[in-house]
């Protein structure tokens, strides 16, 4: 709070003081008050006004400076009322009362929004689980029908994939509902991912190569499987469609880290697209020329990695390779979880 702006804001009081100061001076002259007495009276009047205005200024300054500091320092500015002392002047009390009522109204509206959002998410999760049951049964029936059209099975698997994307997109917003970090085998995780994608790998003649996966990492197994499924699905989708298409998965240990690498020899990604591949709904050049894409798979994978405390990176060269690395950190807080 600045004195100059405070005085400019109270220009009417300054003008009124000047008027009364001049009026008193005229009265003193009219009554022929001795000069020394006149100066003493005017000086006292001026000092009284100056001290009054300064006391009022510094009284308000301490409150508003604390308010501004707390507001800028807090991550959640709406909690500012909890951090400042109650003001001892009437305008400040009115201001705090208004802030309290505004904050209360905001909390009530946010609560309504959160309840509605939570109900919607719960319904979506329930609906997805309900739909996936008959879908899984349908896939099983088609597998058992040798004469069944493979295109039907492929499209049903796509539906299943998109349902899974929606489910994990909802879950990443509220991980506490489905979040379990424990020590798991990378080899077992990759084995499950290979089984999940075996039909697509076989149909598209993509060789799946694994090596050096005998590591244990702290993660949520279901979430990590979903992340790897997105990566593998993208590798299949953006393959070269040649006779030597392959995907390799391997891991290595570096100090307190385990680094999992998934590499394919597909069509690659433009260097201009690489910084944006983890952005929501970003499809890039490949998404426009190769096949229709939602741009959500890698976005969700990135979000889940952040929730799990992992780091995911991507590197690529057009017509040569795409390499995704996921780094697992051996943080000490995982021991507490265990």
Tens of pLDDT along 197-241? Answer: 998 898 889 999 999 999 999 999 989 999 999 999 889 988 888
Report field, pTM of the whole predicted structure over 0.75: no
**Tokens representing residue 70 in the block:** 């707390």
Tens-digit pLDDT profile for residues 92-137: 778 788 888 888 888 888 888 777 777 777 767 777 777 777 777 7
62 pLDDT more than 80: no
251-274 pLDDT tens trace = 999 888 999 999 999 999 998 889
Is-contact 226 164, C-beta < 8 A? yes
Is it the case that residue 335 has pLDDT exceeding 60?
no
Q: What percent of the chain has pLDDT over 90?
A: 21
**Considering only CA atoms, which of 331, 26, 18 is closest in space to residue 183?**
331
**Ramachandran quadrant class, 273 (left: phi over 0; alpha: psi -120 to 50; beta: rest):** alpha
Tokens of 251: 């891991």
- Confidence at 337, pLDDT banded by 50, 70, 90: very low
- Residue 299 neighbours by CB under 8 Å, 6+ apart: 278, 279, 280, 281, 282
* Least confidently predicted of 68-77, 103-112, 250-259, 277-286: 68-77
Q: What pLDDT is recorded for position 321?
A: 92
Specify which residues 8 forms β-bridges with.
Answer: none
Give the residue-averaged pLDDT of 64-75. Answer: 75
């Amino acid at each position: 709070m600045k004195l100059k702006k405070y005085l400019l804001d109270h220009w009417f009081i300054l003008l009124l003081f000047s008027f009364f100061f001049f009026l008193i001076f005229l009265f003193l002259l009219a009554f022929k008050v001795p000069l020394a007495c006149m100066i003493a009276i005017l000086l006292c009047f001026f000092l009284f006004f100056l001290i009054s205005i300064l006391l009022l200024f510094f009284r308000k300054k301490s409150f508003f400076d604390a308010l501004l500091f707390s507001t800028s320092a807090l991550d959640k500015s709406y909690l500012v009322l909890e951090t400042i002392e109650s003001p001892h002047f009437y305008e400040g009390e009115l201001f705090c009362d208004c802030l309290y009522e505004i904050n209360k109204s905001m909390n009530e509206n946010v609560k309504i929004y959160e309840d509605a959002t939570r109900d919607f998410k719960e319904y979506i999760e329930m609906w997805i689980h309900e739909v996936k049951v008959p879908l899984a049964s349908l896939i099983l029936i088609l597998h058992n029908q040798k004469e069944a059209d493979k295109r039907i099975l492929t499209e049903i698997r796509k539906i299943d994939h998109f349902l899974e994307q929606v489910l994990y997109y909802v879950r990443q917003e509220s991980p506490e509902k489905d979040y379990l970090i424990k020590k798991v085998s990378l080899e077992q995780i990759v084995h499950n991912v290979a089984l999940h994608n075996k039909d697509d790998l076989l149909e598209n003649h993509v060789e799946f190569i694994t090596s050096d996966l005998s590591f244990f990492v702290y993660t949520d197994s279901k979430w990590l499987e979903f992340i790897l499924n997105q990566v593998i699905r993208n590798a299949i989708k953006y393959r070269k469609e040649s006779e030597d298409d392959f995907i390799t998965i391997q891991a290595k240990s570096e100090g307190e880290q385990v680094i999992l690498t998934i590499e394919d020899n597909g069509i690659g990604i433009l260097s201009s697209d690489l910084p944006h591949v983890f952005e929501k709904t970003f499809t890039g050049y490949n998404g426009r020329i190769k096949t229709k894409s939602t741009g959500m798979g890698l976005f969700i994978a990135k979000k889940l990695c952040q929730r799990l405390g992992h780091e995911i990176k991507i590197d690529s060269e057009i017509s040569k390779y795409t390499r995704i690395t996921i780094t697992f950190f051996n943080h000490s807080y995982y021991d507490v979880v265990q």
